[in-house]
Amino acid sequence: MIKAILFDMDGTLLDTEGIWNKAWTAVEEKYGFMFDPKIKDSFIGMPKQKMLEIKDSIIPSHLDYDEIQKFRVEFFHEYTSSHPIEIKQGAFECLNFLKSKGIKAIVCTSTYKERAIPWLKDAGLYDYFDDIVTGDIVKVGKPNPEIYEITLKKNHLHADECLAVEDTTVGVLAATGADLKTFYIKDILDISNEAYAKIYKQLDNLGEIIKEIGGQENE
């Protein structure tokens, strides 16, 4: 019996990844350098810890990484002040269904608490969740499974009682690394072949989880 669904946030619940991509483009234009497109794509879903590890290899040495990060975040906030963050298709239907069935809904996001909580509140999603686990509590970000392992322990859950929902390669590898059956819903990019081989099922949107959970209840 499924007791909880563990949701990634960026690109899964909230349509934020495209905005972050616009912010990186603004960085390129302001500071006069270009990322290799493959490197830029790799930023999608990348936790802050990993970004700090590789910053010296992706940011020209004459530029200040902290200044660039500040500009990037300011761009995001300015953009979303006039373009509210959109909620992914089927989110409300799915979360209402889980609540009606007494199934826990939990967020497992690489985004830090100072951003994740306000974004979920602004989107009207915050009150649907039984727990929100954010990237600032882990030592190693996705694709390491630590955030999922912490979430399971914190909520007294076993992996076989839960399903995860992810949209990126690093997210899928983190969830499956914690032995979670994982739904994949494509956002901007396809996931790697390695990650795709590990998923439980690919869905088109969050609303399809209703049928999946209903089907399992009847098994």
Stated length of the chain = 219
8 is catalytic: yes
**Comparing C-alpha atoms, which of 71, 76, 72, 70 is closest to residue 14?**
76
d(C-alpha 150, C-alpha 28), whole Å: 36
Q: Are 101 and 163 in contact (CB under 8 A)?
A: no
d(C-alpha 11, C-alpha 1), whole Å: 27
Q: Are 5 and 101 in contact (CB under 8 A)?
A: no
Q: Are 174 and 195 in contact (CB under 8 A)?
A: no
**Which residues partner with 166 through β-bridges?**
184
- The four Cα atoms 28, 34, 37, 43 give a dihedral, to 10 degrees, of -50
Which pair of tokens denotes residue 210? 């209703």
How many C-beta atoms lie closer than 10 Å to residue 68's C-beta? Answer: 17
Active-site residue, from 8, 10, 15, 167: 8
Catalytic center residues: 8
